[in-house]
Amino acid sequence: MEFTEAKKIMDEKLGDWKIMALASCVDNYPMVRNVSCIFYNDKIYFKTDKNFRKTQQLFKNAQVAMCFNGVQVEGKAINKGLVVDEPGKVFEKKYKEFLWQSYNAYSHEDTEILIEVTPEFVEIWDEDENRNAFQLFIDFRNRSVEYKPYD
State the pTM of this model: 0.92
Residues 6+ apart with CB under 8 A from 20: 34, 35, 37, 44, 46, 66, 67, 68, 73
Q: In DSSP terms, which residues pair with 49 in a beta bridge?
A: 112
Quote the distance between the C-alpha of residue 11 and its chain's center: 11
- pLDDT single digits (tens) 99-114: 877 766 655 678 899 9
Domain 3-149 of CATH type 2.30.110.10: yes
What pLDDT score was predicted for residue 151? 77
Mean predicted confidence (pLDDT) in 72-85: 95
Q: Can you give the residue ranges of every domain in the chain?
A: 3-149
Q: Residue 47's CB: how many other CB atoms inside 10 A? A: 27
- The burial of 41, by beta-carbon neighbours within 10 Å (0-12 exposed, 13-18 middle, 19 or more buried), is given as exposed
- pLDDT single digits (tens) 51-70: 999 999 999 999 999 999 99
